[in-house]
Amino acid sequence: MKDTFKHKGLRQKLVHIIKTKGIKEEKVLKAISNVPRHLFMDSGFLDHAYQDKAFPISADQTISQPYTVAFQTELLDVKPGDKILEIGTGSGYQTAVLCELGAKVFSIERQQELFKKTKIFLPKLGYRPKKLIFGDGYMGLEEEAPFDSIVVTAGAPFVPKPLLSQLKIGGRLVIPVGEDVQIMTLFIRNDIKEFEQHEFGEFRFVPLLEDKN
């Protein structure tokens, strides 16, 4: 597993690209420039790793587009020590970005193959999420709630209630909502029953699957 000067150079170009697309926060850009994305792909497709594109990984899933990862991460407004729940671990790329920002990350994946692979892989790169869970993200993670923020990295046909109820007051849920196309949506919990909602345009994700799909 190598991360060479060439890879680092390609990452700087990628950071430049996502900056021109509107990502502003320095610490997010720094995280993207630190995570060796090529190592999260099956056999290091160098040509693809540092294009700003989603890419297929095993089990019919994808590693999210870097711009999308950066966009969701900006919306999370991560502070060091934040307790964050991610739904859809996948390759672990978003998990690694959150670890770079000093978050305590809990992440749930429903595909067993991916779960196992990523659990072994992340520590090899020095990323130590608090907990990786094999299970169904629709339920959130009640035993570890409440969270400073929750990020869903698959397209949700609706907003699962448990995710809203597992936020701290002041906590943020970033979730792409919709069937074929998703609207990136941010919920901020202002009070026990009061949520502020903001929408940020269209994105495309693989679906957040319900069990037995």
Alpha-carbon torsion angle 183, 189, 190, 193, nearest 10: 110
In terms of Cα–Cα distance, which of 84, 95, 100 is closest to 30?
100
Name the residues annotated as catalytic.
64
Q: Are 154 and 206 in contact (CB under 8 A)?
A: yes
Output the smallest distance, CB 93 to ligand SAH, in A. Answer: 4
Instruction: Quote the radius of gyration of the chain (alpha carbons, Å).
Output: 16
Instruction: Return the amino acid letter for 47.
Output: D
Chain centroid to Cα 125, Å, comes to: 17
Output the smallest distance, CB 129 to ligand SAH, in A. Answer: 12
Q: Is 51 in the site for ligand SAH (CB under 6 A)?
A: no
Q: Is 119 in the site for ligand SAH (CB under 6 A)?
A: no
Output the smallest distance, CB 178 to ligand SAH, in A. Answer: 15
Rule CB under 6 A: choose which of 67, 138, 147, 187 binds ligand SAH. 138
Contact flags string 182-211 toward ligand SAH, x per CB under 6 A: ------------------------x-xx--
Strand partners, 196: 188
Q: Is 70 in the site for ligand SAH (CB under 6 A)?
A: no
- Name the residue nearer to ligand SAH (CB basis): 74 or 191: 74
Output the smallest distance, CB 47 to ligand SAH, in A. Answer: 18
Q: Is 108 in the site for ligand SAH (CB under 6 A)?
A: yes
Q: Is 31 in the site for ligand SAH (CB under 6 A)?
A: no
Rule CB under 6 A: choose which of 36, 90, 129, 176 binds ligand SAH. 90
CA distances from 5 to 12, 92, 108, 161, 175 (A): 10, 23, 33, 45, 35
- Contacts of residue 33, defined as CB under 8 A and 6 or more positions apart, other chains included, come to 8, 11, 12, 14, 15
> Which residues of this chain interact with ligand SAH, rule CB under 6 A?
61-64, 69, 87-88, 90-91, 93-94, 108-111, 114, 136-138, 153-154, 206, 208-209
